[in-house]
Amino acid sequence: MKVLVRGLLKLDVLWQTLVVLAAIAIAVTGVMAVAGGGAEPVILAASIVVGLILAATLRYVQVIGRRVWIEDLEDGEFRISTSSKKEELTDAAVLSVTTEVKALYSNGAATRGQRFALLELDSDKFPKAVDCKYTWPIAKSDPLQDLFNRWYKRIVDVAEEELRTTGLLVGRGWNLTPDEIQYSPPNKPKGEEAVARRDITAAEVVDRRVCLWTANDETPFLRIPIGTPNVIALMELLTKQLKDKPAADANAPGLGRMIFQRDKSWPVFGQLCAYILGLLFSGGGVALIVFTAINAIPDKGIYFAGAGLGALGVGIIALAVVNRSKILQCYERGLRQNTNGRVRELRYDEIRTYTYSAVRGFYNGAYTGTTVGMQLEPHDGPVLKYNSTFKNEDGELDSLRDAISLVMAKTMKAKLDAGKPVRWTNDIDFESDGLDIHGGTGKFAKIKEQFIEWDDIDSLQMDGGVFYLFAFGEKKPLHTMSVTKPNFFPGFQLLLQLKYPPPPIDPDATAGDPRR
């Protein structure tokens, strides 16, 4: 499939260019009219039209001249072409790949995927780096995904070979050797530090950065932006290295390393401004009331105005106090929440009920943001609540939801394996041989009472915040429910494990593996 990866003609860019050039044409025409002592309206209009046509033509030629297509020919080959040249190359001609993939949104919902890439090729016809930018519908896969996967593998193989032969792999702000990783800390731009590779205990992509930890680090000692040179090779090399290390003990004390945090606190400058503004309003209100009283002014409206100013000032100060510290930190084994100095910690294995919701907001048809709400109720202690509003999505909060759900699903499955029923929601229980749905038997029952065996379940779907459970041969779902119900996501993870269990491990294949 031939994919246009650069030079897509967009009307918005064309329109902006036309506006700028039209303004220039008008200005030039006006200057000429003034210099010539006047001009007929027809001449003025003709000049503007000619300017617009010229602008459109120049822009179209410019965009067409920059267009680049890439086609995957498979069998380790690909074709790159423009309107004037083309060349067939092997994957070995790709010297380096820097790439980043993200989602594009419309009204808070992902609609298209987008890839940025910078390719350096061993090519006579394309000696300069080729920058790529293309999109595809979110419901479909990246049309060049297989090609990029081949390039990734080759780049990693080349990096491994380079590391073996030269002893160095260079990235932006870091160098990897066979024994250590050298980097420049943000607070020491001209200094350099090194960490032994054997001391690295974790490598993950968090907030679009490759993050590295050691056993002594609560926070990452190094964060490398995705899309920078050789970061793909670094992540793959460290992932291979860490496979031989034992997994972290989920029952270890404490919360472990910190993965990410979300800080909704007001900045110090904002708090200071709020305090000053609040004091000014409050002081002004009090001064207005005192002045009115001293001068025996009979107008009660002035008293109300002073009281209103004072109340407004107190309200501004109260808002600053309430929002001075609102931080949620996600750790390896739990959460820490700091609300105005009140710190709470909650391990994932202590959560009894977990509720998660994500609601997209609209005002007069315009998307205003997505509000995520989490409520975590432990077996003992107060409920931990968190709410946040942001544009589009927060991938790390989604990952946190899945992590909590997996821990709770593991506990639920252990109970189910012991032969005990497990409560999912208020009206559904997991049984060893299926789902027991409690409800009414009448024609107008909101929830139909039924028992669904595992073998009868065909598919599980979620759409618009609603979960659908389908049986084989049925067009209508057997059961529907809102995903915002308490413990929906932990139960959904358990349902996935029961419906789609992992393949059994071949004992002969792992007999010699001491980790089994």
Q: Per residue in 189-239, pLDDT tens?
A: 566 889 999 999 989 888 888 899 998 888 899 999 887 888 888 988 898
- Other C-beta atoms lying within 10 Å of the C-beta of residue 398: 13
* Amino acid 273: pLDDT: 93
Q: pLDDT for 48-71, tens place per residue?
A: 666 666 666 655 555 555 688 999
Residues 176 and 242 reside in one and the same domain? yes
Same domain, 95 and 113: yes
Domain match, 492 and 426 both = yes
Structure confidence at residue 504 as a pLDDT band (50, 70, 90): low
Q: Does one domain contain both 415 and 485?
A: yes
Q: Are residues 82 and 145 in the same domain?
A: yes
337 in a domain, yes or no? no
Neighbours of 95 (CB within 10 A): 14
Mean pLDDT of the chain: 82
The dihedral region occupied by 302, where left means phi > 0, alpha psi between -120 and 50, and beta the remainder, is: alpha
What is the C-alpha radius of gyration for the chain, rounded to an integer number of angstroms?
Answer: 31
Predicted pLDDT at 516: 30
| pLDDT value at 38 more than 60 | no
pLDDT > 70? residue 85: yes
Q: Give the N- to C-terminal CA distance of the chain in Å, as an integer.
A: 44
Q: Does 128 share its domain with 207?
A: no
Q: Based on the domain organization, do 27 and 84 belong to the same domain?
A: no
Q: What does the alpha-carbon distance between residue 24 and residue 361 come to, in Å, rounded to a whole number?
A: 42
Q: Are residues 204 and 235 in the same domain?
A: yes
Q: Which of 241, 91, 96, 92 is nearest to 170 (CA)?
A: 96
pLDDT at 22 over 80: no
CATH of the domain at 180: 2.30.29
**pLDDT of 404 over the 70 cut:** yes
pLDDT of residue 9: 46
Give residue 216's identity as a one-letter amino acid code.
N
pLDDT of residue 507: 39
Rounded mean pLDDT, 262-281 = 92
pTM score over 0.85: no
The number of folded domains in the chain is 5
* Overall average pLDDT of the 415-422 stretch: 90
Do 76 and 62 share a structural domain? no
Domain-embedded: residue 230: yes
Whether residue 172 sits in one domain with residue 117:
no
Q: Is residue 374 part of a domain?
A: no
What integer pLDDT is reported at residue 244 of this predicted model?
79
| Domain region containing 149 | 68-157
Look up residue 108 and give its two tokens.
């808070």
Helices and strands (H, E) in the chain, number of each type: 8, 28
